[in-house]
Amino acid sequence: MRPRRQALALPALVAVALLPSGGAAQATAAHLAAHSQSITLTELDWNPTGPDNTFFIDVNKAFEQQNPGVTIKRTTISFNTDVSTIRLRAASPSAPCIIGANEGWSGVGVLAKDHLLVPLNKYAAQYHWFSRYPTAVLAQQMVSQNGKELGTGNLYEMATVLAGPQSVYYNKDLLSQLHLPVPSTLAELEHDMAAAKAHGIVPMELGLEDQVQITVPLYQVLDAITPAQKLANFVYGIGRPTVASIGMDKAAATIQGWAKDGYFPKSVLGISSSQAENNFFSGKGLFYPAWPGYSGTPAQDARTGVFALDGPNGKAEDQDNSNQPLGISRSCKYVDLAAQYLNFVSGPEAGKIAVKLGLVPQIPVKASSTQEGPIFRSELTLANNVAKSNGYVPYFDLSTLTMLTTLERAGQSLVAGRMTPQAFTAALQADYSAFHNS
C-alpha cells in the first residue's frame, strides 16, 4: 500500500495449449519458439519511478528471457490513480491481463465482488504459494464468495516479492551514549525515550504537518498490545469487532501521552515527514518511525539500525503488505501464462533482483555484505524474522475505503491535544460502522 520494499526452486514452466479464439488461448515458451509465434502479456502496476520501477523493468526482462516469444507490455500509473480508477480499468474489455490493485476493500475487495478477477486457488496449489509466503500476507489477497469479508475465501491476487514493513530506525551512537540496548518491547521503548529526554536528546523524530506519518508510531503501539489475528479480523470485518476492542483507545492514549511527555519535537505539527527524516538522519533524534528504503551517506548508514516491537505473544509483528499485489483480469486470454508470471514475480529470482536494488523482499533472501549497507541488512533481517513468525499484520486503515484519511486527520488533533483518545477512537469507529453496516 505504501510506495516504499528459503529460497525455493522455481517450478517447471507450465505446459499449456494454444486454443481457438473462443477459448482462453495459452502457450508455452517451447511452442512459441517452434512455431515462430509470439504473445504479449499486458501488465499494469503503480510503480512509475524509483527502484520499484527498476525492479519491474528487470523482472519483466528476466521473465522474457526465460520465455522466448513472450513480451510484457507494461503500463505504470501512480498509486492514487490506481486506487481511483482500478475498477473501471478492470471492467474494460481491454483490461490489462495482469493488473495491480491495492489490498483491502478499495482494491481487491471491489474487483472480486464484481467478478473482475480470476480466482487463483488452482495456481496457489500448483506453485505452492502458501508454503512460500506467510499466510498472514496472502490472506490480504483473499475475498469471500459473497464479497463481504476479506481474509477468507478465494485468493484473487498474488503478492509480489516486494515488502515494506513499518519499523523504527534508531541512532546507534546515541543509544550507546545512553548505555541502552535496542528495545524490543513497548515498555523498553518508553524507558529509552524517557532516558533520551532526560539527557536533552529528542526521543522520537516525527513530522505531522502532512499528516501521513502518524500511522507508523500508532501502528507500532497497536501491534505491541494486540494479537495479530485480532487485528486482522478487524480489518477483514470478521466478527464485527469494534475499534476499542482491538486496543486502539489504548494505543491512542499512549501516543498522546508521548506528546504530552515531550517525546516528539516541540514543533511536531509544523514539521513535514521529510523534514523529520532529515532531522533524524543528521543525528538529532534517538528514534524515527518510518517505512524502509532509506539510503544515506556511509556515515549515516553506519550509525543507523532498525527494529520493530514484538507483539503480545513475544514474536516479531509488523503491519505490512505486498508493495504491489497483482491479479489476473477476467478478460485475459493467457491465464496460465499470466499465473506463471505471478509465480515468477513472487519467487526467489525476483527476490534476488529486489535485494540488488536495495528493496526488502517478503521471502528469505540473503544479502551480500559487500554490496548492501548496514541499514539494508538490518531491514532484511527484520523482514525475515517477521516472515518466519508469520507476524505480518494488515494495515489498520485497509478496514474501510476512507479510514486512512479519517485516521490521519484525527491523528493531528490527537497529538495536538485537541482530541481525547476516546474521541479519536469514536471517530474511527464511526467510519468503520458506516462502511461495514452499509
153-to-114, 118, 129, 164, 233 alpha-carbon distances in Å: 15, 13, 15, 25, 14
The lowest-confidence range among 32-41, 149-158, 227-236, 390-399 is 32-41
Bridge-based pairing of strands 285-290 and 202-204 is parallel
Q: Which residues pair with 322 in a beta bridge?
A: 163
pLDDT at 301: 83
pLDDT at 3: 37
The lowest-confidence range among 14-23, 163-172, 238-247, 350-359 is 14-23
Gap between the Cα atoms of 345 and 85, Å rounded: 24
Gap between the Cα atoms of 239 and 152, Å rounded: 13
pLDDT at 186: 95
Contact yes or no for 139/232 (Cβ under 8 A): yes
* Position 158 pLDDT exceeds 90: yes
- Mean per-residue pLDDT for 300-316? 86
334-to-70, 146, 389 alpha-carbon distances in Å: 11, 26, 36
Mean pLDDT of the chain: 86
**Which of 208, 190, 303 lies closest to 265 in space, CA to CA?**
208
Query: What CATH fold (topology level) applies to the domain 167-319+378-436?
Result: D-Maltodextrin-Binding Protein; domain 2 (3.40.190)
Name the DSSP class of 105.
Answer: I
Percent of the chain with pLDDT over 90: 59
Gap between the Cα atoms of 147 and 111, Å rounded: 9
143-to-103, 113, 147, 157, 168 alpha-carbon distances in Å: 10, 8, 6, 10, 31
Gap between the Cα atoms of 432 and 438, Å rounded: 10
Domains 29-163+323-365 and 167-319+378-436 belong to one CATH topology: yes
Q: What is the pLDDT of residues 10-57, one digit of tens each?
A: 222 222 222 222 333 345 555 554 445 799 999 999 999 988 999 999
Q: Which three cell numbers stand for residue 4?
A: 516504499
* Position 288 pLDDT exceeds 50: yes
pLDDT at 5: 27
pLDDT at 106: 79
**Which of 14, 242, 236 lies closest to 112 in space, CA to CA?**
236
Supply the pTM of this predicted model: 0.82
- Mean per-residue pLDDT for 167-189? 95
Gap between the Cα atoms of 95 and 110, Å rounded: 15
Q: How many residues does the chain have?
A: 438
pLDDT at 8: 24
Nearest-5° angle of CA 390, CA 394, CA 399? 150
Q: What is the pLDDT of residues 360-405, one digit of tens each?
A: 888 877 766 555 677 888 888 888 887 777 778 888 988 888 999 9
**Which of 338, 332, 324, 208 lies closest to 273 in space, CA to CA?**
208
Tell me which amino acid residue 76 is. Answer: T
pLDDT at 35: 45
Bridge-based pairing of strands 285-290 and 167-171 is antiparallel
HSE-CB for 307 with a 13 A CA cutoff? 18
pLDDT at 56: 97
Contact yes or no for 342/123 (Cβ under 8 A): yes
- Mean per-residue pLDDT for 231-255? 93
Q: Residue ranges of the domains in the chain?
A: 29-163+323-365, 167-319+378-436
Assign domain 29-163+323-365 to its CATH superfamily: Periplasmic binding protein-like II (3.40.190.10)
